A and B are shown apart, each in its own frame.
Chain A
Amino acid sequence: MNAFRFLGDMTHLFSVLVLLLKIYATKTCSGVSRKTQELYLLVFVARYLDLFTDYISLYNSVMKIVFITSSAAIVWYMRRHPQVRRTYDKEQDTFRHSVLVAATFVLALIFNDRFTFREICWAFSIYLEAVAILPQLVLLQRCRNVDNLTGQYVFFLGAYRAFYILNWIYRYFTEGHHSRWIPWIAGLVQTGLYADFFYYYFLSWKNNVKLELPA
């Protein structure tokens, strides 16, 4: 495992833990899109179905379990916790996430490595992950004033994507494999979605002012 992949995994892990701790400690989830969190839970469950069939490494298995349980915990807090659920911006979080699920599932049925249950689930999870942040980005834009932790959550998620692309470039040159185009294209789309957010995040950091997205 190269350093880019490891840093990507760590920023990914950190983003989820930041969000979970924010919700746990403050008992609020304002500014957090429940739809995005549910999409991520679906992404993790669909992709990590191989947890019990294919063993890669202890590291991989532990990380998979952590990602599934932490995103399930976030969704549970937002749906069930008596205090947290009341702070959810339901009226603002209106993105039609079922459309994303349906569209990416159809895409996975058409473009996959093999037409098997596992491979379709894998391709579906890759496509869905690429667009799962959309409800969150829309919600951030509606709320305008982004609180620090939510901003950091999206920042770390974006950093994870950037590191993964560096990881693929590194692997392309150091390993003899030919690239899989499904994660490449989906990964580039996914990283591109953060470009706008990164720009405003950088500005707010440089000018040392609170992050505010344009309407």
Chain B
Amino acid sequence: DCLPAPKDEL
């Protein structure tokens, strides 16, 4: 829950 959003966007 505390993980930051992954940088998987463009």
Contact = CB atoms under 8 A, between A and B. Distances in A.
Contact of B10 (A60, A178, A179): A60
Interface residues of A, number: 21
A178 B5 contact: yes
B2 to A, nearest CB: 6
A64 B10 contact: yes
Dominant secondary structure of chain A at its interface with chain B: helix
Contacts of A167: 9
Nearest to B1: A176
Contact of B4 (A12, A56, A177): A177
Given A175-B5, A176-B3, 18 more contacts: A5-B9, A56-B8, A57-B8, A60-B8, A164-B9, A171-B5, A176-B1, A177-B1, A177-B3, A177-B6, A178-B2, A178-B3, A178-B5, A179-B5, A180-B4, A180-B5, A180-B7, A183-B9
Shortest 10 CB-CB contacts between residues of A and residues of B: A177-B5, A176-B1, A56-B8, A180-B5, A177-B3, A63-B10, A180-B4, A9-B10, A178-B4, A179-B5
